[in-house]
Amino acid sequence: MVMNLFSPVKPNHSLFDKHKSVVEQAIDSVHKREYFAQYPEMPSPKVYGETAESEQKAIFEGQVNNFFSRLMQSSDSQLVCEECSPYTGKPLSISYPACSNARGYIQHAMSAAPDWMRTDVQTRAGILVEALERMKDAFFEIAFATMHTTGQAYLMSFQASGPHAADRALEAIAIGFQELTRFPQQQVSWDKPAGKVNLKLLKFYTTVPRGLALAIGCSTFPVWNTLPGVFASLITGNPVIVKPHPKAIYPIAIVVAIIQKVLAENGFSPDLVMLAVDTEAKPIAKQLAEAAEIKIIDFTGGNSFGQYVESLPGKVTFTEMAGVNSVIIDSVRDLNAMAQNLAFSICLYSGQMCTAPQNIFVPASGIKAGGEHVSLAQVEEALIQAIKGLAEHPKAGPAVLGAIQSRATHERIAEADKSVGKGKVLLASQPLTNPDFPDILAATPLLLEIPATEQAVYKKEMFGPIAYIIPTSDTQESIKLASDLATACGAISCAAYTTEDDVMLQIAEAMANSGTPVSFNLTGGIYVNQSAAFSDFHVTGGNPSGNASLTDPEFVLKRFTRTQARVNLAD
């Protein structure tokens, strides 16, 4: 009798044994949802090594203007890519190995697939956690690469593309591991009483990867938004083609090269994760997405391409698109504490986060602050001063606002300014100077007041340093506008300020029903923009801002199917 019908190919648990406690801790944490981080978020020399930053800065500088030779994947050509630093305005001029035809990536990845599809989850988990541990040793290089492609400030570049992205990847490994081992891995004896005798079957369960995955990245968070899908696909046995945004390749290329190296060291083909670069003039995303072999697509980016991805027949898709995020101000304990917190959230990376607030709903009659009535004008003034105080601060301004990734985002500020119509400018955007980077593309936030009736203006995502204050008749209208907007146009975050328990309950309920997490009364060092691995579900799939959530069980489950075999023992 066959003892296991679905024996794994090339099982090797040595790396899993090495990282077992990390996987177990991650599975435990993701289910408890208390604070947990495997990778420390501060670029502390004590944690990451005294020389790490300077050494990796040198690697970064050596990489600029050169061929990216670390990738081990099959290729037949090189492509000079279009990355350009928002800080210096200069092209990075890095060339990457490429396939001259999009089919090449598919063929190489498919050839690599069978062993990975049929090995066991321990083998996969060991290799993937090992890759994250190696990634840790490149966090500084990844940070410089992120800074000079996305325009994020240095600290955010380190955190978002380094420890936070690695934690999100580990979270995907953890939930994947849990789901793949949820049902029996060994044979199950099925004994059905049937009168005098029992009917007996041996049953064997297995999981079948969906097939080739495609991960399409965005220009602002090339690692954080790409890694969860890549690791979710890999842990569940699917090879992945990573198609980064043509302007933000270098940061994710470093990670892909690391995964390839660990795969190769452990006897698997590096082509299991391939980097497929392209240019804006000659994009390949659609060619890849429409290929019959592509069964899974992860996408972060704009609505029109996202909706195209979701509409493709026969694909499992995971999307994150535009959101129009609201702030509901009902009442506060400390007006200035609120204003400073909101100002930081508006300034952070110049509003280029999917979680950045855009529409701030405030009763036209004013609010209660610390028990006193304050007018709308006073609320606006507090926010204006807080934004000015931060954005115009010579040190904090550049460190928080960073740079603007693209010309299109920069031009959107002027466009918003012109569309003010019946509204008014509360705070004009100014060029932001940075003493270290005289040629930086940067601007301080634009704050407008727009009437609640002008939905056509504020229902659009105005990606960038643009925020609207929208006076409402009362908090009830604020809640209705915010939740209707989330339902109709999508939202990824919501901040709310209220000192009243019943209003808090009402906001939580209304925004939950429109698929939007709410953060209440944030002040001090916690911001609505932040989404923590192991604790916060990022995007819910419950409104048009995306159809997936990082990382809920669906995010891994849809990447494989379950099947079984039954063997009659009586024969």
Which CB, 70 or 203, lies closer to a second copy? Answer: 203
| Euclidean distance between CA atoms 462 and 522, whole angstroms | 23
Start-end of H helices in 242-395: 250-265, 285-290, 303-311, 335-347, 376-391
CB of 481 to a second copy, least distance (A): 19
CB of 570 to a second copy, least distance (A): 6
Q: How long is the chain?
A: 571
Which CB, 259 or 557, lies closer to a second copy? Answer: 557
Which CB, 62 or 313, lies closer to a second copy? Answer: 313
Which CB, 32 or 480, lies closer to a second copy? Answer: 32
CB of 382 to a second copy, least distance (A): 16
Which CB, 149 or 233, lies closer to a second copy? Answer: 233
Report long-range pairs for 518-521 (Cβ below 8 Å, ≥24 apart): 518/494, 519/493, 519/494, 519/495, 520/495, 520/496, 521/332, 521/333, 521/338, 521/496, 521/497
Three-state SS for 319?
strand
CB of 215 to a second copy, least distance (A): 21
| Euclidean distance between CA atoms 66 and 89, whole angstroms | 18
CB of 153 to a second copy, least distance (A): 18
CB of 158 to a second copy, least distance (A): 16
Q: Do residues 459 and 488 touch, judged by C-beta distance below 8 A?
A: yes
| Euclidean distance between CA atoms 33 and 70, whole angstroms | 36
Q: Do residues 226 and 298 touch, judged by C-beta distance below 8 A?
A: yes
Which CB, 305 or 537, lies closer to a second copy? Answer: 537
Residue 182 neighbours by CB under 8 Å, 6+ apart: none
Q: Do residues 71 and 97 touch, judged by C-beta distance below 8 A?
A: yes
CB of 520 to a second copy, least distance (A): 5
Which CB, 18 or 33, lies closer to a second copy? Answer: 33
Sign of CA dihedral 182, 186, 187, 192: negative
Find the helix or strand (DSSP H, E) in which 359 lies.
strand 359-363
Which CB, 67 or 190, lies closer to a second copy? Answer: 190
Task: Tell me whether strands 560-568 and 197-209 are parallel, antiparallel or unpaired.
Answer: antiparallel
CB of 367 to a second copy, least distance (A): 15
